[in-house]
Amino acid sequence: MEELGLKDALSSITSGAIIEAISVVVLASLLIMAIQKLVPMLAQKLSGKPRLYLLAAVPLLRLVIIVLTIVMVVPILVEPSFENMLAIFGALGLALGFAFKDYANSLIAGIVTLYEMPYRPGDWIEINGQYGEVRAIGTRAAEIVTLDDTVIVIPHGLLWNNLLANSNDGTDNLMCVAELYLEPNHDVARMRELFRDVIYTCPLTKTYQPVVVAVTGTDIGMKYRLKAYPLTPGDQTRFIADLTARAGEVCAAEEVRMISRPLLLH
């Protein structure tokens, strides 16, 4: 580090400069805390894309404040010459490289995430087998809330080596699929028509979006997939349950037996 001139760069730091730098950091921290608390509260009063865009602005604002704070603090502590900057950032790079390799990996991935936006607050994503709504995006990790109301922290570094599925990709349109297995001997065309009516009569259906009733033959019977969009992504569990219950009533009225199979949520 001495070769990089770090000792010389830090030798001019005074107690007054340290107090001033700490004051700037404290003010920046308070500003970040205020943004993290007030912006989500404001977003809850909105719906649709304005809500998603407002939530997505939180990590960006935090990153901007952090960068501005560094830009303000460094000249306070040391003379902003090329040699001093090279010494400080060189030492910082070495520290991150050797002592905080995993943290730095997630930190860099977090910056890439903020730039490429593969997911935003309000998106429903699946990564590494975990599915849920993105509640917050930090510098190092993202928090998602699963359908079982469990909070899971996912380091951004997982993006490098894992597939990411985003169900609504920054919009409030999230397709849901309710699967049904029926015994093979029935009028397929009639059942498809009845299932379309089931979707359109469900009060949670976003009727102006496409509706599809797909059917395929399997070794145990006919497999129906009722595809449609709920009014909001948060309605997906109730939406699929309602479609399944209504479809079951139709099958009972038509005397077509349903075959038990695991239900897909998305």
Q: Record the pTM.
A: 0.61
- What is d(CA 233, CA 40) in angstroms, rounded to the nearest whole number? 18
Cβ neighbours of residue 84 under 8 Å, at least 6 residues apart?
A: 5, 8, 9, 78
Q: What is the pLDDT along the chain (266 residues), one digit of tens a residue?
A: 444 556 666 666 778 888 888 999 999 889 988 887 888 788 777 766 676 667 667 767 777 888 788 878 877 877 767 776 677 667 766 666 665 566 656 666 666 666 667 888 889 999 888 899 998 877 677 889 999 999 999 887 777 778 889 999 888 899 999 999 999 889 999 999 999 999 999 999 999 999 999 999 988 889 999 999 999 999 999 999 999 999 999 999 999 999 876 545 44
* Whether the Cβ atoms of residue 55 and residue 114 lie closer than 8 Å to each other: no
